[in-house]
């Protein structure tokens, strides 16, 4: 995708100099630069047919006098403690830079980055940071003209307390929807306990020294995880909201091509543009192995719902797809006597109700997604009773009226003559995770009417 190149001052010494001698005019220069960048984005978006971004920018410009805008999460990930095999080795934190590529869902001109130390046991020290347009997914190099030094309360370095998340100061960086941004962080030492997202399905890069201002990273090391990075937020018109998809490995995109951005959430974002739907940010908060009620590879969904959904900026809708690992795990562990099975279904229904109540209290509409078939899976080896429990819970999601809308992922993937199984063309081959065709079917199964405002007082 072609993107506008914005000329910026990138020399930190020059920036500091101007801050000292022109402090009184700093606000004026900032506003002027943002205005020029917005004009460039509008003309570029129109030239390449990117009307959703053009409309976003026009709306921001027309409403700037009334502050009819808000902060909106455009990209985000669910945080957890990485397992030992998914940690970044200590040597790659010590006097080292980490560059992470993320695929945003909404464009804009002004953004901020949220850094996470949610699971840190001690303060996290960041000694340099930047954000820029990436050259391409899976590539370490960036567009040098787009580079912005990230500051925190005006400082180049920051200490983030254990358990906390911090925003960077706002920077001007014109970009379109589906742009790939590179966030670079410099560390002098490793955190005592890492916070991250192992299932990034994207390549991150590490290199020795403070290289956050360097466009090229030759011979950088590679890893397919994200670390300490929670969100990219943009200023957007107040009527534009965000949908958070929260769930397990199916939402997290297990099996997609690395750096391909083909999770079902990515495909939904593409669908919204193709079908001319109102602009909406799409945030993926899936965690592989995640469960509703008990911790798995990450925190249980009920426990993380506040951080991953309710506290994200600009969220108007959430879609909940969870339960494969709760149901499958009970059967695999042999704890599937009738009384235990009934108790699990009751507990899952109670948790679903709690999620919706909490979301409604924050003005968020919630879509319930049915659980996709997994009969034949060697991982869980479900039997007829286990699938009957899945179908029972699905029928409850469809008919209970707890959710504001329903996305029937089960119907989108199941074999009509054998509803306990996925159709061959939508099955990745493990009878549990969808194929690329399956992920597209999931994205297409969400009724666009479910993304409209709902009655929160029903």
Is the pLDDT assigned to residue 34 strictly greater than 70? Answer: no
Q: For residue 284, list its beta bridge partners.
A: 245
Question: Domain spans of the chain?
Answer: 12-230, 240-451
The crossing angle, in degrees rounded to 10, of helices 324-332 and 338-361 is 160
Residue 430, class by beta-carbon neighbours within 10 Å (0-12 exposed, 13-18 middle, 19+ buried)? middle
User: What's the pLDDT band for 118 if we cut at 50, 70, 90?
Assistant: very high
Contact 176, 1 (CB under 8 A): yes
Between 34 and 330, residue with greater pLDDT: 330
pLDDT tens digit sequence for 421-444: 999 999 999 999 999 999 999 999
For residues 204-223, give the mean pLDDT. Answer: 98
C-alpha span between 271 and 284 (Å, rounded): 16
Q: For residue 154, list its beta bridge partners.
A: none
H/E element, 56: helix 51-63
Quote the longest CA-to-CA distance of the chain: 76
C-alpha span between 64 and 59 (Å, rounded): 8
Contact 298, 290 (CB under 8 A): yes
At 414 the three-state DSSP class reads: strand
- Structure-token pair, residue 321: 């797809």
User: What's the pLDDT band for 261 if we cut at 50, 70, 90?
Assistant: very high
Eight-class DSSP state of 294: S
pLDDT tens digit sequence for 394-413: 999 999 999 999 999 999 99
Question: Considering the domain 240-451, what is its CATH architecture?
Answer: 3-Layer(aba) Sandwich (3.40)
pLDDT at 351: 98
pLDDT at 7: 30
For residues 232-247, give the mean pLDDT. Answer: 98
User: What's the pLDDT band for 178 if we cut at 50, 70, 90?
Assistant: very high
Contact 296, 252 (CB under 8 A): no
C-alpha span between 355 and 273 (Å, rounded): 29
pLDDT tens digit sequence for 119-151: 999 999 999 999 999 999 999 999 999 999 999
For the chain, give me the number of helices (H) and strands (E)? Answer: 11, 22
- pLDDT above 70 covers a percentage of the chain that reads 86
pTM of structure? 0.87
What's the distance, CA 353 to chain centroid? 24
pLDDT at 2: 33
- Structure-token pair, residue 458: 């029903």
pLDDT at 336: 87
Torsion of CA 333, 335, 340, 344, to 10 degrees: 0
Is the pLDDT assigned to residue 23 strictly greater than 70? Answer: no
pLDDT at 290: 98
pLDDT tens digit sequence for 351-391: 999 999 999 999 999 999 999 999 999 999 999 999 999 99
Contact 263, 449 (CB under 8 A): no
- Structure-token pair, residue 363: 């003005």
For residues 94-117, give the mean pLDDT. Answer: 98
């Amino acid at each position: 995708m072609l993107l506008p190149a914005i000329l910026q001052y990138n020399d930190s010494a020059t920036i500091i100099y101007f801050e000292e001698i022109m402090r009184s005019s700093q606000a004026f220069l900032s506003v002027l630069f943002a205005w020029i960048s917005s004009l460039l984005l509008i003309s570029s978006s129109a030239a390449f047919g990117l009307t959703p971004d053009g409309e976003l920018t026009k709306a921001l410009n027309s409403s700037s006098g009334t502050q009819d805008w808000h902060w909106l999460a455009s990209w985000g990930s669910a945080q957890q403690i990485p397992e030992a095999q998914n940690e970044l080795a200590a040597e790659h934190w010590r006097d080292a830079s980490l560059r992470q590529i993320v695929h945003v869902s909404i464009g804009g001109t002004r953004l901020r980055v949220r850094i996470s130390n949610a699971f840190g046991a001690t303060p996290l020290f960041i000694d340099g940071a930047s954000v820029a347009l990436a050259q391409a997914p899976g590539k370490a190099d960036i567009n040098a003209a787009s580079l912005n030094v990230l500051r925190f309360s005006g400082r180049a370095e920051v200490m983030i307390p254990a358990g906390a998340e911090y925003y960077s100061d706002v920077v001007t960086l014109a970009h379109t929807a589906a742009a790939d941004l590179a966030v670079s962080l410099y560390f002098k030492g490793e955190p005592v306990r890492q916070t991250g997202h192992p299932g990034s399905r994207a390549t991150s890069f590490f290199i020795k020294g403070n290289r956050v201002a360097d466009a090229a990273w030759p011979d950088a090391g590679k890893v397919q995880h994200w670390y300490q990075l929670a969100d990219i937020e943009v200023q957007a018109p107040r009527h534009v909201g965000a949908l958070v998809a929260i769930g397990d490995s199916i939402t997290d995109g297990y099996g997609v091509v690395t750096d391909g951005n083909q999770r079902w959430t990515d495909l939904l974002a593409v669908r919204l543009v193709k079908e001319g739907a109102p602009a909406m940010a799409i945030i993926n908060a899936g965690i592989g192995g995640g469960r509703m009620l008990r911790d798995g590879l990450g925190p249980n969904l009920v426990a993380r719902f506040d951080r991953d959904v309710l506290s994200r900026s600009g969220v108007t809708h959430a879609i909940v797809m969870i339960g494969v690992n709760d149901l499958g795990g009970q059967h695999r562990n042999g704890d599937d006597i009738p009384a235990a099975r009934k108790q699990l279904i009751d507990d899952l229904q109670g948790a679903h109700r709690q999620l919706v109540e909490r979301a409604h209290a924050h003005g968020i509409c919630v879509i319930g997604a049915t659980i996709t078939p997994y009969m034949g899976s060697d991982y869980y080896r479900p039997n007829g009773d286990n699938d009957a429990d899945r179908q029972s819970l699905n029928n409850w999601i469809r008919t209970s009226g707890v959710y504001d809308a329903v996305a029937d992922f089960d119907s989108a993937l199941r074999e009509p003559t054998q509803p306990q199984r996925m159709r061959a063309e939508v099955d990745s081959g493990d009878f549990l995770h969808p194929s690329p065709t399956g992920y597209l079917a999931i994205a297409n199964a969400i009724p666009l009417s479910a993304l409209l405002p709902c009655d929160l007082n029903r």
